[in-house]
């Protein structure tokens, strides 16, 4: 693979990419960055999760003039979540240049966005409806835009944004660079390319192979507030040798790692805000079995080379199938079996269907263990540990004490006391886990031909076949406005915080 250092990128941007953990360019990045920096129009056909944001983010940052207060680049994204995520990644890519990035989207007070726009952002990332609103109010001036990006164009078509996109593109100078990214190329998207683009280069990337063999995949349907207690009980029942828990945001990772520590697990979190030294220290402890549970964001987990992971828990379902496959691929390596458990809120069931369509594998519904089952799991571990100690036969210094105890107590009582002392009984110590709003409702591709704009309404998780118990020990195996403004979180400030 090509390293970023081979792509004629400035040292400031290379350093920023290195801070983010990026060393080698993905195929879409390799195929797009050089052309993008040359000012060519580009059609990038690639799935979500292939690194598209850096593919267009690097050329944007390389060309932005930070001494110029005008808006120089505009990125149009289908949902507020993607707008926030893209704006944060571009902000991080532009860390060295101190480029000013702002995300604008529906569902947030427009007055706040108008005030932020007065601070002269140079790069705007926004959803079509809110961008058009600002254009009509004349609070967003696009006269000096040099680069226009349409991200997930086919998704915007599915959501009914095509007229808004045409109106926005007509408001941007004709003399500009246009980059269009889409997983598929339906006729209306091709028409946009023909109408608004100048002899575009086509960069087409094949979708990654979706291999998830040797991994038993389960899902747990649960409300947001129930997820942490269920995770605790699953850890007690499964007894993973090494486990990774994936969270959607940096705040989520910090809170989960802290809460797991309170409950008695050896847990540490890694995310984009940690220094490289701290990140390496945590990974070293994990590899050396000094940590039982690693909690991570997708960004922090990029490039992790860890063997021996027995369980992966998706505390938050990822937004795209590639991220899901990337996450669960941390287990089931070298011919060994692994287990992946994904938590899904009722409103996020559409994402589960999309993952299943992509991986061509149905997930098995999992009944969360009860507190009693969790206790049995811990007791079973204590028995294993006690048995292992006996087999090592290193008890000479304790034999006299044992004999004295047996003079005063029944042998069964002594063993029971030892097991009780070694058992980590289920802990209901209160912990603070901030509730995250679910991802915006999304239809699976099977439902996209229906013509409506509404989100995925199906909630058929209980219609499947047998629901196995979680017992079994180790290795067992709406409207446009609604889509733009369906959740809280994120910020329109220059430092957007999608991973907060």
Of the CATH numbers 3.40.50.2300, 3.40.640.10, 3.40.980.10, 3.40.50.300, which one belongs to the domain with range 4-204? 3.40.50.300
> Would you list the domain boundaries of the chain?
4-204, 215-370+428-469
Domains 4-204 and 215-370+428-469 share a fold: yes
Contact, 49 vs 323, CB < 8 A? yes
440 against 225, higher pLDDT: 225
Q: What is the pLDDT of residue 458?
A: 33
- Does residue 464 carry a pLDDT above 50? no
Strand 201-204 to strand 293-296: parallel, antiparallel, or no bridges (unpaired)? unpaired
Q: What is the pLDDT of residue 49?
A: 60
Contact, 9 vs 36, CB < 8 A? no
- Does residue 44 carry a pLDDT above 80? yes
- Does residue 208 carry a pLDDT above 80? no
Contact, 210 vs 321, CB < 8 A? yes
CATH 3.30.365.10 fits 215-370+428-469, yes or no: no
How open is the CA angle 236-240-246, to the nearest 5 degrees? Answer: 95
Contact, 395 vs 389, CB < 8 A? yes
CA gap 316, 328 in Å, rounded? 13
DSSP category for residue 216? E
- Does residue 75 carry a pLDDT above 60? yes
454 against 290, higher pLDDT: 290
CA gap 270, 283 in Å, rounded? 9
- Does residue 471 carry a pLDDT above 70? no
Arithmetic mean of pLDDT, 315-335: 79
Question: What is the distance of C-alpha 82 from the center of its chain?
Answer: 11
- Does residue 57 carry a pLDDT above 50? yes
194 against 211, higher pLDDT: 194
136 burial (CB, 10 Å; 0-12 / 13-18 / 19+) is exposed
pLDDT tens figures, 376-409: 877 787 788 788 888 888 888 888 888 888 988 9
CA gap 196, 167 in Å, rounded? 11
**36-50, 116-130, 325-339: which has the minimum mean pLDDT?**
325-339
pLDDT tens figures, 29-43: 988 999 999 999 999
CA gap 239, 387 in Å, rounded? 16
Arithmetic mean of pLDDT, 59-66: 95
pLDDT tens figures, 262-302: 988 899 998 877 776 787 788 888 888 889 899 998 766 65
Please state, in angstroms and as integers, the Cα–Cα distance from residue 108 to each residue in 41, 275, 277, 489, following that order.
Answer: 32, 32, 37, 10
């Amino acid at each position: 693979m090509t390293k970023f250092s081979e792509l004629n990128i400035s040292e400031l941007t290379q350093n920023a990419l290195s801070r983010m953990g990026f060393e080698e360019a993905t195929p879409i990045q390799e195929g797009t960055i050089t052309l993008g920096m040359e000012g060519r129009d580009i059609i990038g056909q690639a799935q979500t999760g292939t690194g598209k944001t850096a593919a267009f983010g690097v050329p944007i940052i390389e060309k932005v003039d930070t001494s110029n207060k005008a808006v120089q680049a505009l990125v149009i994204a289908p949902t507020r979540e993607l707008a926030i995520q893209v704006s944060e990644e571009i902000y991080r890519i532009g860390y060295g240049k101190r480029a000013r990035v702002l995300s604008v989207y529906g569902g947030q007070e427009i007055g706040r966005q108008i005030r932020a726009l007065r601070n002269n952002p140079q790069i705007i990332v926004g959803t079509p409806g809110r961008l058009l609103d600002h254009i009509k109010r004349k609070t967003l001036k696009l006269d000096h835009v040099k680069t226009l990006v349409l991200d997930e164009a086919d998704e915007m078509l599915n959501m009914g944004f095509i007229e808004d996109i045409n109106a926005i593109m007509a408001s941007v100078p004709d003399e500009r660079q246009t980059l269009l990214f889409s997983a598929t190329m339906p006729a209306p998207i091709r028409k946009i390319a023909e109408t608004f683009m100048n002899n575009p280069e086509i960069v087409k990337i094949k979708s990654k192979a979706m291999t998830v063999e040797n991994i038993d995949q389960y899902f747990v349907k649960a409300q947001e507030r129930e997820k942490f207690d269920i995770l605790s009980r699953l850890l007690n029942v499964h007894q993973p040798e090494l486990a990774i828990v994936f969270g959607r945001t940096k705040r989520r990772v910090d809170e989960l790692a802290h809460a797991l520590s309170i409950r008695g697990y050896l847990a540490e979190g890694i995310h984009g805000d940690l220094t490289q030294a701290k990140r390496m220290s945590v990974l070293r402890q994990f590899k050396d079995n000094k940590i039982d549970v690693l909690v991570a964001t997708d960004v922090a987990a990029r490039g992790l080379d860890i063997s021996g992971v027995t369980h992966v828990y998706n505390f938050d379902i990822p937004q795209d199938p590639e991220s899901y496959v990337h996450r669960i691929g941390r287990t089931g390596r070298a011919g060994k079996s692994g287990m992946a458990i994904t938590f899904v809120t009722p409103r996020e069931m559409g994402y589960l269907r999309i993952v299943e369509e992509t991986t061509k594998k149905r997930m098995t519904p999992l009944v969360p263990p009860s507190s009693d089952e969790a206790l049995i799991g811990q007791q079973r571990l204590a028995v294993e540990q006690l048995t292992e100690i006996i087999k090592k036969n290193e008890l000479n210094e304790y034999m006299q004490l044992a004999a004295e105890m047996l003079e005063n107590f029944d042998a069964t009582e002594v063993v029971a006391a030892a097991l009780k002392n070694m058992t980590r009984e289920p802990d209901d110590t209160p912990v603070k886990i901030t509730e995250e709003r679910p991802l915006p409702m999304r239809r699976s591709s099977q439902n996209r031909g229906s013509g409506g704009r509404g989100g995925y309404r199906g909630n058929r998780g209980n219609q499947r076949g047998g629901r196995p118990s979680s017992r079994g020990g180790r290795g067992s195996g709406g409207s446009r406005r609604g889509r733009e403004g369906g959740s809280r979180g994120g910020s329109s400030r220059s430092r957007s915080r999608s991973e907060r």
